[in-house]
Amino acid sequence: MSLLSDLVNLNLSDSTEKIIAEYIWIGGSGMDIRSKARTLPGPVSDPSKLPKWNYDGSSTGQAAGDDSEVILYPQAIFRDPFRKGNNILVMCDAYTPAGNPIPTNKRHNAAKIFSNPKVASEEPWYGIEQEYTLMQKGVNWPIGWPIGGFPGPQGPYYCGVGADKAIGRDIVDAHYKACIYAGIGISGVNGEVMPGQWEFQVGPVEGISAGDQVWVARYLLERITEISGVNVSFDPKPVPGDWNGAGAHCNYSTKSMRNDGGLAVIKKAIEKLQVKHKEHIAAYGEGNERRLTGKHETADINTFSWGVANRGASVRVGRDTEKEGKGYFEDRRPASNMDPYVVTSMIAETTILG
């Protein structure tokens, strides 16, 4: 195995200018991340200099078998923490051969919203808190839990320390460092309320880059859990009953909100979100009704509410924002399986263009 390990870790730059580019895209379910690699003649740092590529969309649920070619457009480049050197990860979106975005391409519409001059001038920032659950391979049950049984009740696990509380920390730390190496704006990690559940935060990141970075961070997590022999679940309620669900809270601000007098702008934005509550809920992730019950630090899915420092509200405004009269707010409704392209652009569209 040491020879295999040596070959996997070969530094290509010692012998060639060639690099490996891993093209990443989102499959037909909207949550299945796909990727494949190609050789390029030398280092590339500008996605517009990368070649387009294609794949068999009939094998990903994105095209018919008699017209299966889907085209990948490179959109963002990250350093590859697995192959290292000059090798890269490339976040792509998908188009028909005629150049039209395929139905599951959510990035295209998000990019149109973020390129709107009114939106761009507001420089929208996002901080996304991505929760996830580490699951035992072959068994739909969290790691560290007895098969068919339960650990002790919630309480000691949130930000806990110790083998019986912080379950899976090696994976979490490996992912944290891999994200930093890749160039993702990861700002922190922590253990969550349910054992086996963790969170990482990406941001503050501006505009379309927030979606790119969350998707690549998810890709890295999938790859690291693959190596570790466990599965990762983004299900918003992986264990029924008296256990916390998993969300992807979205912290948000615009230039007007960050400037003096911003609290009034925040309140106006929250009013707009209230009017569009149903539309946002419909786009905030599948199975979210199992999570947004009004219990376990959530608001009821059918009722919009907001408050200062209230983690049982749909939208939370922080004490610091209230005190300073400017800052950001947190939309607590998005589920862990939300599409960050959809959620970030929808919040901008509702609050800036609405």
Indicate the DSSP class of residue 123.
-
β pairing state of 19-26 and 197-206: unpaired
What six digits make up the tokens of 258? 């960050």
267-280 pLDDT per residue, tens: 999 999 999 999 99
Instruction: Please tell me the predicted confidence (pLDDT) of residue 1.
Output: 58
Residue 22 has pLDDT above 70, yes or no: yes
Residues 6+ apart with CB under 8 A from 71: 52, 53, 54, 94, 95, 96, 97, 99
Cβ-contact 210, 340 below 8 angstroms: yes
Q: Would you give the distance in Å from CA 40 to the centre of its chain?
A: 28
Separation between Cα atoms, residue 295 and residue 158, nearest integer Å: 17
Among residues 251, 256, 241, which one has the least CA distance to residue 318? 251
Cα 145–Cα 151–Cα 155 angle in degrees, nearest 5 = 125
Q: Domains in the chain, start-ordered, CATH in brackets?
A: 4-104 (3.10.20.70), 117-353 (3.30.590.10)
Q: What is the DSSP string of 252-270?
A: EE-HHHHSTTHHHHHHHHH
Separation between Cα atoms, residue 89 and residue 77, nearest integer Å: 6
Alpha helix stretches (DSSP H) within 74-206: 107-115, 117-122, 169-182
Burial class (CB in 10 A: 0-12, 13-18, 19+), 58: middle
Instruction: Please tell me the predicted confidence (pLDDT) of residue 164.
Output: 94
Cβ-contact 125, 253 below 8 angstroms: yes
Query: Which phi and psi (to 5°) does residue 58 adopt?
Result: -70, -20
207-255 pLDDT per residue, tens: 999 999 999 999 999 999 999 999 999 999 999 999 999 999 999 999 9
User: SS3 for 46?
Assistant: coil
What is the crossing angle of helices 340-348 and 208-228, to 10°? 160
Instruction: Please tell me the predicted confidence (pLDDT) of residue 354.
Output: 86
Cβ-contact 119, 348 below 8 angstroms: yes
State the greatest distance between any 2 C-alpha atoms of the chain, in Å, as a whole number: 63
Give 301's pLDDT tier (boundaries 50, 70, 90). very high
139-183 pLDDT per residue, tens: 989 999 999 899 999 999 999 999 999 999 999 999 999 999 999
The CA-to-CA distance between both ends of the chain, in Å, stands at 58
Give 310's pLDDT tier (boundaries 50, 70, 90). confident
Other CB atoms within 10 Å distance of the CB of residue 54: 13
Measuring CA to CA, how many Å separate 40 from each of 17, 21, 22, 88, 291?
9, 7, 10, 10, 44
